[in-house]
A and B are shown apart, each in its own frame.
Chain A
């Protein structure tokens, strides 16, 4: 390998340099045998464009073998890019101010929600078929006001303190809810007993390593069973600035962003947990907000300060759910008919595609 001595002046001409960097380059140039060839390339290119402050087009930072120098070059490259971007932005801003009213409308930035792949099962509010389905599905009885919800909350075997407390708090949030200990009973035997006692819902909170991590929500007479993954559970005292305990009033329910057919079913599943007549006197609201397939549950107390402002204070536990599977009948892991199952490889491949 030859060490070609690239004249210093040319190098400095080629790039805007801080003196430190020139020194570093020179020193490394002399000491660095491997870079000899690359240097010549650089040198040659720089000679051809003496006035250009930017990098020659076919030069790429990755061709420099020396890590430190490569890093320096890359940093500079980034800085220049940033500067260019800033100048463009300033120019645009000036133009916008100059044009005043005639300026073109601001471009809307792309968000994941904007770019979401259109799901063909999105429900149109006026869809006849959907309406018909909803009238004849398992929740029809509830939505027609015939049945009142009665919820049984239980856990997996041997629950630890956190799970137990979570169950208790859930029971205060959902009106007409009862907590029972599991004691090693098989779910398949529990279900007929529940039906016999007129329960409409069975909630089983699964626990792993002392923390609740799963939820099975089973609509009773013969309704769908949904299995969720539970994460970020915050009990009441872990919430900052939380309010006092919820009262016995029936809360209102807010369901946000359940747009597809599947989402619709799940939304109805949640809605049927709460009694049909919210008591506005209590000023409590339970929210199920779906964002990118995560369902966030919050429980607030609200107060209207005037007609344009409302204040909310968080009571109650908060948690996030992610749907893992939806089963047609009641809970039956072996023979059940799965309506929808989370298949990770298929569904997680596209970042813009969501199921709920």
Chain B
């Protein structure tokens, strides 16, 4: 015989019910046929021999009913009625099937049915919308990639690479005339200029002094006239000297400029080994400051009259 009260007495409060889930504030019922999910005297499917629920399967709602007459046949205990897809019609069906049943069960069934239809509608809507696809990340792989990235960054040496590329572009002239450093062209041009000038000088000097006649005094060669002599010397000297001069001209120039910059008009410290006033001839082609050296010595050839 079915003694609902006894059953409830046992499973509800005193002893164990395997469908019961206890929490701090409430008790829940995990039974699949439970109408509400709570563990109550009136909503426990085990403790009520006349019971009804709504359950949903693949979008279709069914009304399940249990009556005391079938309590002895567990296999046939629940009667399953398919509800129509139309909301109102389904409600009418529920009413029709549960006519003369306790108000509580009827009401709760309808409530449950409403909730189920609502969530089914929501599911259908979401299906149509775009959904975020969640892709699982493997932590190992991510860490590996992160480390590889760091090492690649170090190996890349970005700043250097960028600077190199920019300088390359500058050299190739992609920037046109914006910047005023024509780079190597400038240096090359400078060297070329040096060579040209040296050649010119050589040629000119040779041409000039060949065949020229100069009248030079017999005695009393004063120091101040040395320069002329040295010009003459120059004619005779081999071209080696000149070449040496030209090669060192670059240095000399720089040093001359230095001197000029510092504004010192001292004796030009002639830069290379004893090439002193001889260079003045070469220098004539460009701006220079000539300094005359005066040494007071008594001319040897003079004899004193006593």
Contacts and interface: CB of A to CB of B under 8 A. Distances in A.
A292 interface: yes
B166 A296 contact: no
B175 interface: yes
A209 to B, nearest CB: 11
A289 B181 contact: no
Nearest to B137: A208
Interface string A183-203: 010100000000000000000
Interface string A48-69: 0000000000000000000000
Interface in B120-176: 130, 132, 141, 144-146, 148-149, 151-153, 155-156, 158-159, 161-163, 165-167, 169-170, 175-176
Contact residues of A: prevailing secondary structure: strand
Interface residues of A, number: 35
A256 B167 CA distance: 14
A286 to B, nearest CB: 10
A210 B188 CA distance: 58
A289 B166 contact: no
A285 B166 contact: yes
A282 to B, nearest CB: 11
Nearest to A311: B163
Nearest to A298: B158
B153 A307 contact: no
B145 A322 contact: yes
Contacts of B175: 280
A146 B130 CA distance: 36
Interface string A269-311: 0000000000011000101010111101010101010111010
B213 to A, nearest CB: 52
B162 A296 contact: no
Given A280-B175, A304-B179, A310 B163 contact: yes
B162 A231 contact: no
B146 A231 contact: yes
B19 to A, nearest CB: 39
A202 to B, nearest CB: 16
A280 B152 contact: no
A296 B145 contact: no
A232 B149 contact: yes
Contact residues of B: prevailing secondary structure: helix
A290 to B, nearest CB: 9
A112 interface: yes
Interface in A239-270: 252, 254, 256
Contacts of B149: 231-232, 294, 320, 322
B52 to A, nearest CB: 42
B161 A312 contact: no
Contacts of B258: none
Contact of A289 (B130, B144, B151, B158): B158
Interface in B169-215: 169-170, 175-176, 178-179, 181-184, 186
A344 interface: yes
A254 B160 CA distance: 13
Contacts of A291: 152-153, 155-156
B254 to A, nearest CB: 18
B148 A292 contact: yes
A113 interface: yes
A308 B179 CA distance: 12
Interface in A305-348: 306-308, 310, 312, 320, 322, 344, 348
Contacts of B176: 280
Contact of B181 (A113, A304, A344): A304
Interface in B67-104: none
A306 to B, nearest CB: 6
A280 B166 contact: no
A291 B151 CA distance: 10
A310 B153 contact: no
Nearest to B186: A307
Given A287-B162, A291-B153, A310-B166, 16 more contacts: A156-B132, A157-B132, A186-B130, A231-B146, A252-B169, A254-B162, A280-B176, A281-B178, A287-B161, A292-B152, A293-B152, A294-B152, A296-B152, A304-B170, A307-B184, A310-B167
6 contacts: A156-B132, A254-B165, A294-B153, A302-B166, A307-B179, A320-B149
Closest 6 CB pairs of A and B: A307-B181, A291-B156, A307-B183, A292-B152, A291-B152, A294-B152
Interface of B: 130, 132, 141, 144-146, 148-149, 151-153, 155-156, 158-159, 161-163, 165-167, 169-170, 175-176, 178-179, 181-184, 186
Interface of A: 111-113, 156-157, 184, 186, 231-232, 252, 254, 256, 280-281, 285, 287, 289, 291-294, 296, 298, 300, 302, 304, 306-308, 310, 312, 320, 322, 344, 348
